[in-house]
Structure 1
Amino acid sequence: MKRLLAATLLALAPLLALAQSSPVGLWRNIDDKTGEAKAEIRIAEGPQGLTGRIERVLRKDAKPDETCVECKDERKGQPMVGLEIIRGGRKAADGEVWEGGQILDPENGREYRLKMALLEGGQKLQVRGFLGPFYRTQVWTRVAPNGKN
């Protein structure tokens, strides 16, 4: 039994390491101003690059039927849960960052140029949104498969 468990863990190790070297997965976004968890965002990779959707809203004042009131495109009025906030973004030539996409701040409806970089062995994700020369940075935390951090 121990040998089977060890063999299984050895077989899965490369897959786990690969998952940690990409922003693909479930992330808890932490407000850069208050330090509180706001949402969980699932990042996936598709033909158009990365996409990120809100999977769970964590704000204390969140309403279950909350929609994106401030959005200015087809996302206006869409439910927050399931809302696509990351569009595009590909791994840069240096392999250390993902850029070229857009990130939406549903609180103000603005879209920003996106740049992301993994930190702490893939356990944290630096998410930076640019508007002209100005930017805002958040550090998101990877949500463990069991849902605990």
Structure 2
Amino acid sequence: MKKNILLTAFTSLLFSTAAFANDLSGVWQQIDDKTGSAKAIIEIRKEANNTYTGKIIKVTPRPGYTPRETCNNCPAPYTNQPILGMEILKGLKHVEGTNNYEKGRVIDPLAGKIYNARIRMNSTGKRLTLRGYIGVSALGRSQTWIRME
């Protein structure tokens, strides 16, 4: 009896961790790939069409950096939009059986450029690597984001 309870508890924990690891939804701390400092807090949510969208919910102050208020070099429909509240990540689709998400688009509101995006989440679901690129993935940059509890 005791063995069955332990087995059931272990199985439940295993499946709940796997489900958590495959869900991109949540609040993430964006880490600057150049400086290693916290850059912004992004909320990612799952849309009705099973894609994921992420928006900036807080810009993190950094020493020696004055945050820009608007996306002034960005193409339409982002032109002159406030950075706070901006949807910077759109269209990501989960790749079945993996911790990968592909076919998304990400905008860098400081540079005003839109990139293709893909994400790989680690097995615990607490870190992800976002790869932004134009054309082929080898010609891009990666950022680490950390899930906030």
TM-score strictly above 0.5: yes
The total of aligned residue pairs comes to 134
Letter in 2 for 1:129: G
When normalised by structure 1's length, the TM-score is 0.80
Matched, 1:82 2:118: no
Once residues 117 and 102 of structure 1 are traced to their aligned partners in structure 2, the CA distance between those partners, rounded to angstroms, is: 15
Query: For 1:7-58, what per-residue CA distance to the aligned partner results, in whole angstroms no more than 9, with x for missing partners?
Result: xxxxx96667533422110000000110010000000010341100000000
Percent identity, please.
Answer: 33
- Please give the secondary structure, in 1, of the residue aligned with 2:20: helix
Matched, 1:104 2:83: no
Distance 1:120 1:93, change over 3 A: closer
Alignment partner, residue 124 of structure 2? 121
Once residues 113 and 21 of structure 2 are traced to their aligned partners in structure 1, the CA distance between those partners, rounded to angstroms, is: 29
Matches within 5 A, 1:126-137: 126-133=129-136, 134-137=139-142
- Please give the secondary structure, in 2, of the residue aligned with 1:95: coil
Q: Residue 69 of structure 1: CA displacement?
A: 1.2
Matches within 5 A, 1:1-149: 18-48=19-49, 49-60=51-62, 61-63=65-67, 66-133=69-136, 134-144=139-149
Alignment partner, residue 5 of structure 2? none
Once residues 24 and 96 of structure 2 are traced to their aligned partners in structure 1, the CA distance between those partners, rounded to angstroms, is: 16
Query: For 1:79-120, what per-residue CA distance to the aligned partner results, in whole angstroms no more than 9, with x for missing partners?
Result: 111100001010114433100110111111111111101115
Q: CA RMSD in A?
A: 2.3
When normalised by structure 2's length, the TM-score is 0.80
Structure 2: gaps of 5 or more residues: 1-11
Q: Does the CA-based 8 Å contact 1:22-1:118 persist in structure 2?
A: no
- Please give the secondary structure, in 2, of the residue aligned with 1:88: strand
Which entry has the higher C-alpha Rg, 1 or 2? 2
